[in-house]
Amino acid sequence: MGRRIAVAFADIHCGHYSGLCPEGMKLPSPEDDPETTWTPTLTDTQRWLWSCYEADRNGIKALANGDPITVIVNGDITWGKKYPDGLISSRDYDQCAIAASCLIRWLTMVNVDKLRLITGTQSHESGEGSTPYTVAAMLQAVKDCDVAVSRHSLFSIDGVVIDCAHHGPTPGMRQWTSGNQLRYYLKSLMNDEIQRHRTPPRVVVRSHYHTYARETVRVNGAERWVSDIVVTPAYCGMTHYATQVTRSAYLQSAGMVALEIIDGELVKIHDQFTRAHDLRTEEEL
Distances (CA, A) of 3 to 9, 111, 158, 258: 20, 12, 9, 13
Residue 177 DSSP symbol: G
- The reported pLDDT for the residue numbered 247 is 79
- The reported pLDDT for the residue numbered 221 is 67
Q: Which residues of the chain have pLDDT under 70?
A: 32, 221-222
Q: Model's pTM, two decimal places? A: 0.95
Q: Give the pLDDT confidence of 150-168 residue by residue, as tens digits.
A: 999 999 999 999 999 999 9
- The reported pLDDT for the residue numbered 74 is 98
Residues 199, 193: Cα–Cα separation, whole Å? 6
Strands 224-231 and 203-206, how do they pair? parallel
Identify the bridge partners of residue 37 per DSSP, sorted by sequence position: 28
Residue 3, SS3? strand
Identify the bridge partners of residue 228 per DSSP, sorted by sequence position: 203, 216
Is 52 within 8 Å of 255 (Cβ atoms)?
A: yes
Residues 185, 230: Cα–Cα separation, whole Å? 12
Q: Give the pLDDT confidence of 114-150 residue by residue, as tens digits.
A: 999 999 999 999 999 999 999 999 999 988 889 999 9
Cβ partners under 8 Å of residue 54, min gap 6: 105
Is 205 within 8 Å of 269 (Cβ atoms)?
A: no
CA terminus-to-terminus distance, the chain: 62
- The reported pLDDT for the residue numbered 178 is 86
Element (H, E) at 49: helix 44-64
Is 128 within 8 Å of 122 (Cβ atoms)?
A: yes
Residues 33, 281: Cα–Cα separation, whole Å? 42
